[in-house]
Structure formats: C-alpha cells, structure tokens
C-alpha cells in the first residue's frame, strides 16, 4: 500500500480511502466487518463515514457498525484513521421531538452534540478527522472554529476537514482559522471524476495553496465509470436514475470503455489511476459492497497511464481547461 500525508499535516493515510456508506443499507454487518478486516490486511488505514449514513434519522447505523467492529479489538481502532462528518439532521431521541431546532447544521451546540453522538456510536474516545458535511452560511466562522477548537482541546477531535465546499468558502474558513492561531481545514471532500471535473477550476488550486488534502467522493461517478457496457450485456438492470445518467453520457462512456479495452485495463482501474496521478489528490473514496470489489480496486495503485492515454482520456472527458481564471481568460 502507498501512503501520503493528509494535506499539510504529518498524518499518513493510504492512497485509497474506504468509503462505508453501503454499510447497513446494502452490506450486512458481518460482510461490512469482512470488508474492513480485508482493508487493514491490504494496508488501507483511512476509513470515511458520516453520522447520517444508514439513512435512519438519528440512528447512525453505519457508525454503529464501525463501532461494533472497533469493539472486537485486535488494534482495529489504533490501525484506523477514522473520518466522520457533522451537519445532517440527527433529531432527538424523544419521539415527539422530530422537528426540533438545533439538531442539524453547524451551530456550536449541534457540533458538540453531534461529535458526542459519533464518539458513542463509534465506540472511540477520539475522531481522527471531523468533517463539515456541507457549508452553512448562518453560522459565523468564529462560532464554528470555537466549537472545533474546544473539541480539539478535549482530545475528541484531532483534525478538521470540509466537504462540498467552494474554493472561496475554504479560503474564508482557513483565513478565519489563521486569525485564531488554529490549524483550520486540512482536507476537503468534493465530487470529482472524469465525468465531473468542475473542481479543477478553483477548488483544486485552493487545496494546493492551503495544503488541504483532496479526498474525492464518487470517483467512478456512481458506477458510470465502472464498466457499464459489460454490466448491461450481462443482463444487469440499472435503477431508473442510473439509466438516465447512463443515457446522458452514453457516447463518452462507450468511448472510454473502448479505450480501456485497447489498454487492456478495467474502466474502474483507469478512472482511479487517472485521478491518483493528480498531485492535489490524497485518497479517492472507494465504496465496495463486497470484499471482491475491494480487492479489485488495488490495480489502480500500480497502473501508470502514458501521455498518449491521458491525451485520449482528455479528448473523451474534456475538463474545464485548467485552473481559473486561465481556463476562461488570458
């Protein structure tokens, strides 16, 4: 396994990050345990989750599964860099308080409660990387950072990251943190794939400037870059929304898969290898439903794309043309 620093920090994380969103809704607890055990065997030490994963309000199903896995011992917790998120509505335990205020977003009160809830479900004393799942304009940065600083002082959080932030929001966050002599954001999770290259304009340049590690989510565009033609020919049906996306991008996907056939590589491996060669990218998030899918992701770490292959890929999936403003101005 290859390891890199998470942004400008001294923390070493694996080049692939294990996404756990399938744990609970699509993958049983025993199968989730098997995937996490296999990830450690392979040297993957970076796991990503969120308090809302499992999609049962207030339950934190996925975090609970990870917590049960940690509780088995065997240095599972110590070998894992666990990243979770705060923002979503977790509600309150009382059944008659379903629409109560302050159970979501980024108020200092919710950050405190959400962190304590995640710690309890994860059965751990600390969170390695605590990420804001979305931006919230109503909370001033002084409030947010005060809450995060308190968690760091208490030893409940080590590093803070963001997710789905625009570049200017990352700038505001880290400039505010600098004024408070606080480390600030060390990572950003953004939607990024060959099909969705928007962040190359401003988010990736901002990450490079501030030393913020990029953790792309949906690097295979929800499976569209994972070999759709073969899945269709094997008789696998697509969900209606996936079928619409496939139809929308059919020409590009088919051209990409033809190129991958010429390279003698699987589309998913090529898509991940393309992303891993970008120096701004720390660890793409892979979300295997099975151990076999996890094992299949490793090829991307050793796959080196030639200049000709990269040119062909750019021809199929043209990006925004480089960083802003050079991409659209002289």
* Residues pairing with 144 in the sheet: none
Q: Cα separation of 285 and 58, whole Å?
A: 24
Q: Which two tokens stand for residue 259?
A: 């190129």
Q: Return all residues near 30 (Cβ < 8 A) that are at least 6 apart.
A: none
- Token pair 């963001």 in the structure block, residue: 162
- Active-site annotation holds for 210: no
Kindly provide the b/e burial profile for residues 112-139, where b requires at least 16 CB atoms within 10 angstroms of the residue's own CB: bbbbebbbebbebebbbbbbbbebeeeb
- Find the catalytic residue in 53, 130, 192, 246: 53
Backbone dihedral angles phi then psi of residue 17, each to the nearest 5 degrees: -110, 130
**Hey, how many other C-beta atoms are within 10 angstroms of the C-beta on 171?**
16
Q: Cα separation of 81 and 129, whole Å?
A: 8
For residue 134, whether the previous peptide bond is cis, meaning omega lies within 30 degrees of 0, is no
Q: How remote is the C-alpha of 183 from its chain's centroid? A: 21
- Token pair 């998913």 in the structure block, residue: 268
- Cβ distance 312 to 46 under 8 Å? no
* Residues identified as active-site: 53
């Amino acid at each position: 396994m290859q390891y890199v620093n998470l942004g400008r920090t001294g923390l070493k994380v694996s080049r692939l990050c294990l996404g756990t969103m399938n744990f609970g809704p699509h993958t049983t607890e025993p199968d989730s345990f098997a995937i996490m055990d296999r990830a450690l065997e392979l040297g993957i030490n970076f796991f990503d989750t969120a308090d809302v994963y499992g999609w049962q309000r207030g339950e934190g199903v996925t975090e609970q599964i990870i917590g049960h896995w940690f509780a088995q011992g065997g240095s599972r917790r110590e070998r894992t860099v666990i990243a979770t998120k705060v923002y979503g509505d977790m509600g309150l335990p009382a059944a008659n308080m379903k629409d109560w205020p302050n159970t979501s977003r980024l108020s200092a009160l919710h950050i405190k409660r959400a962190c304590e809830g995640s710690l309890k479900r994860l059965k751990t004393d600390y969170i390695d990387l605590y990420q804001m799942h979305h931006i919230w304009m109503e909370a001033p940065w002084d409030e947010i950072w005060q809450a995060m600083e308190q968690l760091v002082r208490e030893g409940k959080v080590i590093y803070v990251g963001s997710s789905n932030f625009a570049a200017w929001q990352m700038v505001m966050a880290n400039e505010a943190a600098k004024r408070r002599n606080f480390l600030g954001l060390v990572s950003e999770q953004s939607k990024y794939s060959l099909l969705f290259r928007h962040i190359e304009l401003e988010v990736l340049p901002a990450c490079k400037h501030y030393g913020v590690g990029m953790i792309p989510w949906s690097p295979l565009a929800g499976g569209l870059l994972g070999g759709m033609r073969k899945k269709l020919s094997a008789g696998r049906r697509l969900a209606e929304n996936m079928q619409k996306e496939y139809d929308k991008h059919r020409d590009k996907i088919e051209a990409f898969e033809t190129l991958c056939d010429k390279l003698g590589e699987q589309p998913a491996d090529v898509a991940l290898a393309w992303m891993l060669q970008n120096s701004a990218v720390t660890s793409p998030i892979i979300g295997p439903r099975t151990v076999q899918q996890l094992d299949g992701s490793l090829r991307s770490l050793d796959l080196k794309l030639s200049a000709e292959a990269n040119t062909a890929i750019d021809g199929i999936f043209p990006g925004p043309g480089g960083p802003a403003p050079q991409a659209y101005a002289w």
